[in-house]
Amino acid sequence: MVIKNGKVVTENSLVKTDVLIRHGVIKAIGDNLSDRDEIDATGKYVLPGGIDVHTHFDLDVGIAVAQDDFYTGTIAAACGGTTTIVDHVAFGPKGCNLEHQINQYHKLARGKAVIDYGFHGVIQHIDTDVLYKMKTLIDEGITSYKIYMTYDYKLSDEDIYTTLMRAKELGLIIAVHPENDGIVNRRRADFVQAGKTAPIYHALSRPEQCEAEAIGRVLQINRMAGDAMVYIVHLSNNLGMQQINMVRQNGYENIFVETCPQYLTLSDDKYNDDDGIKYIASPPLRHESNNELLWQDIENGDIDTIGTDHCPFDYALKQKMGADDFTKCPNGLPGVETRMPILFSEGVIKMRISPKRFADITAANPAKLFGMYPQKGVIKEGSDADIVIIDPSKKVTVRHESLHENVDFTPYEGLDLECAIDCVISRGDIIVRNNEYIGAKKRGKFIKRGLPQSV
Ligand code: MN
Ligand code: MN
């Protein structure tokens, strides 16, 4: 197959040219290539397929289970131009060993995923077995772990330190959910006690200082642990960014940062709307002054990737469980399907970022940081033919009815986009056309990820 005359975004250029695909791999990039099957991409952008390294398919949060499984979730991802996901496994039973949840997730994903996938492990306690398995699981393709500074299995500062020292020794990357647990819990309890249970108190119970303090703490701990590769997930606000910039200026190394589309396009005034409960997620949406600052951080390179934190619960369910008390509402937003078109429209078309920067934050950087480069994340000879073609001449309004996510709303309802996903190719298979999944079932493959590379 050959993709003709598109604006091809490669690692170092944006050039009108052709891309030849053979046996699922990019065979050549250049002018006047031909093959039997031809896709005309005239006037369209030809970009590396999206890589979303922050999804929660089938996530069991105790009070509910996230509604997209590895089938509906990867179909939705594909329709949104994403060809690879790395899912964060849920917490397992107390005291379980490190491979317990990895084994669980292989069962959840195998035979269901339609795009390629990997898993981040989770460290919910530290003992010698966990530290040993961090090494042995490298051969199984698990080269990143999530740690939490809040929720049931938060790690103590000492265990964070131990984890980071071990990660440094082995060359692994540690993703961190940074929020100050004690203060969040105290504020939640105080609000409930005072009868302040409306959705806005969700945001007020976990202010940006809770996030910024935890970011600062983990980065100081990481310095003492020897500068392991640390990945701050879902950065939501500028105060947190200031913490990161401060330590970077002091020479602290190996700090990488992800934000999500919701923190670029939505703000905390949503919590005061009648349907405010829809938007309950952690970290919460922030004051709108953060949106543009985070875009600047993406442009100037301070933010490295965009994940989605896709974790969908129906509006109806959130209302049923949390209408009288925000603390009873399952936390999370859908977004795996809307990430690429929203970022392209709001980012590239609105000229906040270049097409090259778009490709870096949505594909190349996640591939490098999570051990999939150059097989994934780049349009380059020899790489997997994972490609999304985006049409900037089409205008689309985001509507829940048009999406494939298994949830009854989208937080981006009514957002006008100045582009559309035209065609999605995964390992040389055309899997999406006309907003419809047309690939085979069960075609997704587990990616044995290698060690992370810096960006
Ligand atoms: Mn989180
Ligand atoms: Mn998450």
104 within a domain of the structure (yes/no)? yes
297 shares a domain with 246: yes
97 shares a domain with 16: no
400 shares a domain with 362: no
Question: Quick one: pLDDT at residue 161?
Answer: 98
| Cα–Cα distance for residue pair 87/121, rounded to 1 Å | 9
145 within a domain of the structure (yes/no)? yes
272 shares a domain with 396: no
Å from CA of 90 to ligand 2 middle: 10
452 within a domain of the structure (yes/no)? no
Å from CA of 32 to ligand 1 middle: 47
449 within a domain of the structure (yes/no)? no
Of 336, 369, 402, at which residue does a domain stop?
Answer: 369
Residues 6+ apart with CB under 8 A from 74: 57, 85, 112, 113, 114, 115, 117, 444
Q: Which ligand is nearest to the CA of 88?
A: 2
287 within a domain of the structure (yes/no)? yes
104 shares a domain with 33: no
Question: Quick one: pLDDT at residue 255?
Answer: 98
Q: Which ligand is nearest to the CA of 90?
A: 2
Question: Quick one: pLDDT at residue 442?
Answer: 97
For 334, other C-beta atoms within 10 Å of its C-beta total: 30
445 within a domain of the structure (yes/no)? no
446 within a domain of the structure (yes/no)? no
Structure-block tokens of residue 37? 């099957």
8 within a domain of the structure (yes/no)? yes
Q: Which ligand is nearest to the CA of 214?
A: 1
- ∠ CA 320-323-324, nearest 5°, is 120
Å from CA of 311 to ligand 2 middle: 7
For 401, other C-beta atoms within 10 Å of its C-beta total: 6
Angle 157-170/128-136 helices, nearest 10 degrees?
A: 30
Q: Which ligand is nearest to the CA of 120?
A: 2
Å from CA of 185 to ligand 1 middle: 16
Q: Which ligand is nearest to the CA of 86?
A: 2
54 shares a domain with 36: no
| Cα–Cα distance for residue pair 75/83, rounded to 1 Å | 10
Of 369, 401, 418, at which residue does a domain stop?
Answer: 369
Å from CA of 282 to ligand 1 middle: 6
323 shares a domain with 250: yes
142 shares a domain with 35: no
**Domain hosting residue 394, numbered range:** 2-46+381-437
287 shares a domain with 386: no
421 shares a domain with 304: no
Q: Which ligand is nearest to the CA of 211?
A: 1
385 shares a domain with 348: no
Question: What are the residues facing 390 on neighbouring strands?
Answer: 45, 421
Condensed to tens digits (0 to 9), the pLDDT of residues 305-334 reads 999 999 999 999 999 999 999 999 999 999
Q: What's the structural domain count of the chain? A: 2
Å from CA of 372 to ligand 2 middle: 20
CATH of residue 388: 2.30.40.10
Condensed to tens digits (0 to 9), the pLDDT of residues 135-193 reads 999 999 999 999 999 999 999 999 999 999 999 999 999 999 999 999 999 999 999 99
Own/partner long-range contacts of 179-184 (Cβ < 8 Å, ≥24 apart): 179/149, 179/150, 179/206, 179/210, 179/211, 179/214, 179/282, 179/283, 180/149, 180/150, 180/209, 180/210, 180/211, 180/213, 180/214, 181/149, 181/150, 181/151, 181/154, 183/209, 183/210, 183/213, 184/150, 184/210
Structure-block tokens of residue 254? 């190996």
Å from CA of 387 to ligand 2 middle: 25
| Block mean pLDDT (10 aa), the chain, length 455 | 98 96 98 97 99 97 94 98 98 97 98 98 98 98 98 97 98 98 98 98 98 98 98 98 98 98 98 98 98 98 98 98 96 98 98 98 99 98 98 98 98 98 98 98 98 98
Å from CA of 4 to ligand 2 middle: 38
Of 369, 401, 427, at which residue does a domain stop?
Answer: 369
Question: Quick one: pLDDT at residue 127?
Answer: 97
Are the beta carbons of 369 and 452 closer than 8 angstroms?
A: yes
Å from CA of 368 to ligand 1 middle: 21
358 shares a domain with 218: yes
Are the beta carbons of 406 and 67 closer than 8 angstroms?
A: yes
